[in-house]
Structure 1
Amino acid sequence: MNSKISKVGIIGAGNVGADVANALVLLGKCVTVVLFDRTLSKAEGQAWDIEDTIPLLKDMEIIPSNQYEDLADSDIIVVTVGVQQKEGQSRLDILSDNAEIMRSTIKELDRVAPNSIILIVSNPVDVLTRIAIATSTRAENLIFGSGTVLDTARLRYQLGKRLNVSKQDVHVYVIGEHGDSEFVVWSSAFIGGILLAEFPIPQGATLEQIQQEYAELTRKRGYNISERKGNTSYGISIVVCQLVDAILRDEKQIFPVSVRADSNYGVGSEVVLGLPCIISSQGIERQLVLPRNPHEQRLLEESATKLNEAYNSLDN
C-alpha cells in the first residue's frame, strides 16, 4: 500500500478509539483518519479536539462520522467499539454484551469496505476476533486482533529494566489469551542472542523468581492500570499505530496477534488466540510456530480450552 494515500477508519470514539486516532495523528501514520461513532456529536468532539493539533504537526485529515459509507476504501479499519470493563470484571465477563455488537459491525463493514484489513481491539479480543472471522465474508488474512502485542511489550520493557539491558534486546513472547490465561514462552526467551537461561541474572534473585514475578506483573498490568485510572488506552493506541505502520509500509514485522491457531500448535483449528505472525500489506502474511516445552504446551491448551468454552457459551 502507498502511505501517501492511506486511510484508516476507527469504529468507536470512546477512550480507546479516540486515543488511537490521536496517536495516528501525532505520529503521522496515515493521511486520513475517519473516526466513526453512532453518536455523531461524540465523534465530532473527539475529532475536532484532535484536529486542532494538526497545524502544529504533519498535515493530515481527521473526519468524524456516523455513516459507515465514510469508511469505504479504508486500508485498515480498527474496531474498538463495545462495553467497557468495570472494576473486578475480567475481559471475558463482558463477552455477551460485545458479541452482538461485533457481529452487526462486521456485517456493515463487509457491505461498505469488503477489501479493508480489519484490526479488532475490543475485548475480549480473542473471542471477538473469532466472531468477526466467522461473521465476515472477506479473506481470513484480512481480519486479526491485537492479541498479546501489548502484553509482550509490557514484559519486554519491565524485564529489560530488571536485567539492565535495552528492551530491543529482550526477545520473548507472551501468547495465548489476552487475559488471565496468557503465559510467557520462557523456553525460547533470548537476551541479545543469549538464552535467558544462560544470561547473567542480577544478584539477589534466581531465574525462577524473575520468571514468576514478571509473568505475574504482565498478567495483572492492565487490571492495575484500570484500578487507578479507570481504563487503559495509551498502550493499546501505540500497539495499533505499530500494526498500522507494519501494514501500510509492508514491513513484515512479527507480532503476537489474535489468529486461528496453526494445526502445529495442537489446540484445534477454530480457536483464536495470540500467536506470532508476520504482518504485512496482506494483513496476516504468515503465522509462525513458536517452539514450546511440554509445560508451555499444557498452558497453551488450557488457554485454548478457556477461550473455546467462552465462544461456545454464546448463542452462535
Structure 2
Amino acid sequence: MSQLVASTPGHLKGIKIVVVGAGSVGVTTAYALLLSGLAAEIVLIDIDKQRAEGEVMDLNHAAHFAQARVVAGEYEDCAGAAAVIITAGVNQKPGQTRLDLVKTNYALFADVVPRIAKSAPDTILIVATNPVDVLTHAAYKLSGFPVERVIGSGTAMDTTRFRHELSKEFGVNPRNVHAVIIGEHGDSQLPVWSLASIVGMRLKDFAAQKGIEYRQDAMDACARRTKEAAYEIIRRKGKTNYGVASVLVSILEPIITDGDALMTVSRVGNYGGVEDVALSMPCKLNRTGAHIDVPLLLDTSEQEALRKSALSIKEVIDSV
C-alpha cells in the first residue's frame, strides 16, 4: 500500500472498503467515502474493468485532497475489507417500480455475493441495489452471513427525504426533525406519525406552540412527496445518486467507528407477524453490524400497515 497522508487517524489506517459497481451510485459513493476520511483504501469493482480503471484514475486525482488511495480490483480484493457496498445492478427507469427490477438483479447477486463471501467471510455487506429489501434478503441467504452482517440501505434515504419535507413545512432545520419512514423502500413504506416530533414535541403540539395551523393534508403531502421523490428525480435526470451515496457513507460511519448510531436500515427478521423478510426498522449500527436494539412502539394502524408492507415484500421474495 502506498504511503497515506500523515493526518489519517490511526484507527482508520487499516480500513479497506470495497464498492461493487462503477455506475453512478457506486462512483458517487466512492467519492463521498474518499472525502469522508473513513477509509485508508477504497476498492472499486465492476464487470467493465476499463470503466472502473478510468473512474479510479479520476478519483485518485481527488485523493490529492483526501487521505485514502483508490484502486480498481477483483473480487479477491474484498479480502480483509471492513465492509463491501453493493451498488451493482440494473437501474430503475422512468415508470418502473423498484420491484420491477428483481429478477435481473437477483441473478446478478447470485453470481456476485458468493464471490464476495468467499474472499471476505468476516466482512459486513451493505446492499444498495434495488429492490433493496428483496436483495438484502437474497444477500443474506447467498452469503450465509449472520443476519446482522447483511444490511440494506432501506428507508434511510426515505427517512432523510421525509425529514427534509417536514422541515420545510415547519420552518426548521431537518436535523431538528425526529421522524422515520419504516417498512419497504418502495411503495408500501409508511411514516410513523405517532412518534414524529420536533424538539421533543409532537408535530401538532409544535405547530400549536409556534402559532401555525396543523393540517393533516399537508402532512400527507409530505409523505407522498417522500415516497415519490425517486420517481420524480429519475423522470427528470434518469437516476438518483448524490442522496443515496451520502446515506451509504452515513450507514458506514458507525460501522467503522463502532458508533452505536440508530438508523432505519433493512435487515432480515420477523416483522408484523411475517417471518423471514427484510424491511427497514430503526437499528443500532456498530462494528458488528445492524441490531434491532429496541422494538419501535407503533400504534394499531401503523402495526397493520407494517404487516401489509412486510407481506408485499415477502410475496416478491417467494416469487424469485
Do 2:269 and 2:275's aligned partners in 1 also have CA atoms closer than 8 Å?
yes
Residues 270-285 of structure 1 correspond to what in structure 2 (within 5 A)? 270-285=276-291
Query: Is the partner of 1:122 in helix, strand or coil?
Result: coil
Distance 2:211 2:25 in 1: 40
The TM-score with structure 1 as length reference comes to 0.94
Do 1:258 and 1:272's aligned partners in 2 also have CA atoms closer than 8 Å?
yes
Task: Kindly provide the CA deviation profile for residues 143-164 of structure 1, in whole angstroms up to 9, marking residues without a partner as x.
Answer: 1100100100111122112211
Q: Which residue does 2:261 correspond to in 1?
A: 253
Distance 1:290 1:225 in 2: 30
Distance 1:267 1:233 in 2: 34
Do 1:275 and 1:288's aligned partners in 2 also have CA atoms closer than 8 Å?
no
Q: Which residue does 2:138 correspond to in 1?
A: 131
Do 1:175 and 1:275's aligned partners in 2 also have CA atoms closer than 8 Å?
yes
Q: Which residue does 1:268 correspond to in 2?
A: 274
Correspondent of 1:174 among 174, 181, 203: 181
Query: Is the partner of 2:275 in helix, strand or coil?
Result: coil
Deviation at 1:295? 1.2
Distance 1:27 1:291 in 2: 34
Residues 135-284 of structure 1 correspond to what in structure 2 (within 5 A)? 135-200=142-207, 205-262=213-270, 265-284=271-290
Distance 1:179 1:137 in 2: 26
Deviation at 1:268? 2.0
Alpha-carbon RMSD across the aligned residues, in angstroms, is 1.5
Distance 2:134 2:32 in 1: 26
Identify which range, 272-281 or 207-216, moves more after superposition: 207-216
Correspondent of 2:304 among 298, 301, 315: 298
The TM-score with structure 2 as length reference comes to 0.93
Q: Which residue does 1:44 correspond to in 2?
A: 53
Distance 2:82 2:308 in 1: 35
Task: Kindly provide the CA deviation profile for residues 14-70 of structure 1, in whole angstroms up to 9, marking residues without a partner as x.
Answer: 111011001111222211100001121010111111111111x122100012x2111
Q: Could you tell me which amino acid in structure 1 is paired with residue 196 of structure 2?
A: A
Query: Is the partner of 1:108 in helix, strand or coil?
Result: helix
Distance 1:197 1:267 in 2: 31
Aligned residue-pair number: 310
Query: Is the partner of 2:121 in helix, strand or coil?
Result: coil
Query: Is the partner of 1:271 in helix, strand or coil?
Result: strand
Distance 2:291 2:272 in 1: 21
| Pair 1:59 & 2:74 matched | no
Runs of 4+ displaced beyond 4 Å: 201-205
Do 1:174 and 1:184's aligned partners in 2 also have CA atoms closer than 8 Å?
yes
Q: Which residue does 1:97 correspond to in 2?
A: 104
Deviation at 1:204? 7.4
Q: Percent identity?
A: 34
Do 1:186 and 1:211's aligned partners in 2 also have CA atoms closer than 8 Å?
no
Q: What runs of 5+ residues in structure 1 fail to find an aligned partner?
A: none
Do 1:222 and 1:232's aligned partners in 2 also have CA atoms closer than 8 Å?
yes
Deviation at 1:206? 3.3
